[in-house]
Structure 1
Amino acid sequence: MDQRPAPTRRRTTLPDLLRRALRRPTRTTPPATGPTNPDAVVDCAVYVDGQRQPGRPHYTDAHTHSRRNRRSFVWLGLHDPTPAVMTAVGHTFGLDEFHITQALTDGHRPTLQRHDDVTLLVLRTAAYVEHTELTDTSEVVDTGDVMIFIGDRFVVTVRHGAPGALTTVRQDLQQRRTILAEGPWAVAYAICARMVTQYLDVATHVETDLEQLEETVFARERTADIPHIYQLKREIVELKRAVLPAQAPLRTLATPPTDGPPPALRRWFTDVDGDLARAVDRVNAYDDLLNSILQTRLAQLAVEQNNDMRKIAAWAAIAATQTAVAGIYGMNFTHMPELHWRYGYGAALLLMATAALTLHRLFRRSGWL
């Protein structure tokens, strides 16, 4: 039998390993990419037992996660969403066409509505606009609105306008885990409390404007014009449209309903309703005070016009005596007393001057001049 020598195994060296590694095709694993939130999304988070979960997921993933845990909910914050974004959000969270249509428009009156399993709470936002002086075009109060859609395990906030940012509301509420653990209604309470706080803050600044306006009206040199007063009155009316209608929905949330905030949050809504009552009283008082300032300014204008008319009448009376004397001696009749008198011209001038000085002194003594 032919015996062949066994083949010797070649030793693998380091250069061989490098060449094999270079010839072997590399497999690249694409990074895990999920859907990104649209620009209208200010923030999106999932909360479990009052604790925010790490990250900022897409609202669809957050909604799916919240459905798996009964102790969790999702808070989605939107600012001026487009129809496409709001429609997608509505389909994800089960909002009907009415909710989507309401969320796309602004200028709503504060209200509380419930449709199926979703509660809609609408509030007006308010912010004070700083200005150096009050003019007939000064913007004092800037308003917007915020819509809160409250579901079983979600809350969607839609904000329109510049004032009323909810970033600080979210940050402050995340520090109060006991309240946040109550679920979506805790977010509604925090937003209501912040809106009422802003009402009181705006009322404080408006009070300063009213004090300055009152000082200018009663000052010796008055600089407050009627258009300035009307402009501030329009701004206060704008603030009243935000504050006064909010009483009905907040009072409803503060009373024991069949469905609504949990009992642990009801007393907090009662506290917010009390603060709102203070804001309503202040705004109504400012409106009454501004009406008084306006009536006072109108009365001052009437007095000033009366004084002007008395001065005009006094000077007209003084001028009338001169006109009477000059008119009598300007008739050019042939037979007139003192017509050919040598001192008639000087006597007529003296008579006119004496009458003018006498009337001027009498009018000054009576306060007409």
Structure 2
Amino acid sequence: MECVIYREGSGEAREVDCGQAADAGQAVLENLRDLAGEEFGWVRLDAPSERDMDRLTEGLGLHPLAVEDAVQAHQRPKWERYGELLAVALKTLWYLPEEVEVETGEMMLFLGPRFVVTVRHGGADPAAEAARRLAADPTTLRFGPAAVLHAVLDVVVDAYSDAADKVRRELTGLERCVFSPSRDDVTEDIYSLKREVLEFRDAVQPLVPVVRELFDGPHVRWPEDLQPYLRDVADHLYRTDIEVRSLDELLNSVLDAQLARVGTWQNDDMRRISAWAAILAIPTMIAGVYGMNFQHMPELGWAYGYPLAVGGMALLSGFLYRAFRRSGWL
């Protein structure tokens, strides 16, 4: 558990000594109760248990249903209003190029009049980067707890955009393989990337209506000076959503193209096999006729009969080979 006290006007920040794990919640509550007029607190928790949340729930007036969502995770992106408390759930996301894998986590934010509580699940920690951005631009702290919401959302959406760029580069590489002259079967790679893009889409698309309703709806009033910042985050999210949709559609097209190429390779192989079977059928037929051991057969007593038969085999086979080469079968 971490807690930082911010001063809205000056951008000053001081960390709270949470002490031992058992006393951390009590130390945080005491500091939040002693806040000055222009101060607000930001409490950061990493995958807390129900016991970790109990003291904060009682002291900050968090709604039990929202706390249950924060502890158990596995929630869809959403926002809920509980009196003066605003709860926002969203998915964090990052891309691992080495494993060609999209990893997702979750974050829950509780915004009160003078405090923010963020609960994180998963490997990515947008709160750390959001705190760094607030420190780099302390003027945004004049918006109070809403500044933390904007900073966290900005970090999460930037991570979405970065992951989309990396997936786009991976997809471009697969496209080159699909349309290259070599016979590289990348069907499994395309399907794996398709599965990751679906996980990506499940994180981004449900957040779009949440952000639209949260920022543009009549249910929550934001400071007028903060609205351009919120719209900027929303625009980045909408652009990333369009990018993810296009990646999903393009992957479908690439997969169809790869399957079509595999079918073409199989047809080419079958034509080659059929052409060689037709070429070998000529000498097989002639040799089979002369292997019947009948007494009265053409040219059996002629000295040049054997060379003539072999030459006929070669001539007819060469004629078929040339015909198949000209038609593209060989």
Same fold (TM over 0.5): yes
* Distance across 2 between alignment mates of 1:145 and 1:314: 60
Which of the residues 78, 81, 91 maps onto 1:124?
Answer: 91
User: 8 Å contact 2:114–2:144 — kept in the other structure?
Assistant: yes
1:72 maps to what in 2? 39
* Distance across 2 between alignment mates of 1:312 and 1:224: 21
Instruction: Tell me which moved more, 60-69 or 272-281.
Output: 60-69
Amino acid at match of 1:72: E
1:245 matched to 2:209: no
1:150 maps to what in 2? 111
2:238 maps to what in 1? 277
* Distance across 2 between alignment mates of 1:46 and 1:206: 38
Instruction: Tell me which moved more, 147-156 or 204-213.
Output: 204-213
Measured at CA, do residues 232 and 55 of structure 1 come closer, stay the same or move farther in structure 2, by a change above 3 Å?
Answer: closer
Shift of 1:106: 3.1
1:28 maps to what in 2? none
Question: Aligned residue pairs: how many?
Answer: 322
Amino acid at match of 1:46: I
Shift of 1:283: 1.6
* Distance across 2 between alignment mates of 1:97 and 1:345: 99
Which of the residues 245, 258, 261 maps onto 1:297?
Answer: 258
2:16 maps to what in 1? 56
Equivalence map 1:15-94=2 (5 Å): 41=1, 43-50=2-9, 51-58=11-18, 59-68=25-34, 69-94=36-61
Gaps of 5+ in 1: 1-40, 132-137
Structure whose residues are more often helix by fraction? 2
Gaps of 5+ in 2: 19-24
Amino acid at match of 2:81: R
Identity of aligned residues (%): 38
User: 8 Å contact 1:253–1:261 — kept in the other structure?
Assistant: no
Shift of 1:330: 2.6
Shift of 1:341: 4.5
Amino acid at match of 1:264: D
Report the TM-score, using the length of structure 1 for normalisation: 0.80
Q: SS of the counterpart of 2:198?
A: helix
1:228 maps to what in 2? 189
* Distance across 2 between alignment mates of 1:180 and 1:60: 25
1:26 maps to what in 2? none
2:171 maps to what in 1? 210
User: 8 Å contact 2:8–2:40 — kept in the other structure?
Assistant: no
Which structure has the bigger radius of gyration?
A: 1
Shift of 1:274: 0.8
1:14 maps to what in 2? none
- CA deviations over 1:41-86 (Å, ceiling 9, x no partner): 1x20222335445341434344344345453322100111123213
Measured at CA, do residues 229 and 80 of structure 1 come closer, stay the same or move farther in structure 2, by a change above 3 Å?
Answer: same
* Distance across 2 between alignment mates of 1:110 and 1:267: 22
Which of the residues 174, 177, 180 maps onto 2:135?
Answer: 174
Q: SS of the counterpart of 1:264?
A: coil
Shift of 1:311: 0.5
Measured at CA, do residues 300 and 258 of structure 1 come closer, stay the same or move farther in structure 2, by a change above 3 Å?
Answer: closer
Q: SS of the counterpart of 1:76?
A: strand
RMSD over aligned CA atoms reads: 2.3
- CA deviations over 1:125-184 (Å, ceiling 9, x no partner): 1222242xxxxxx33322211111112222110111112332121122134343212222
1:328 matched to 2:328: no
Q: SS of the counterpart of 1:356?
A: helix
Equivalence map 1:310-321=2 (5 Å): 310-321=271-282
User: 8 Å contact 1:78–1:159 — kept in the other structure?
Assistant: yes
* Distance across 1 between alignment mates of 2:6 and 2:125: 23
User: 8 Å contact 2:7–2:141 — kept in the other structure?
Assistant: no
2:157 maps to what in 1? 196
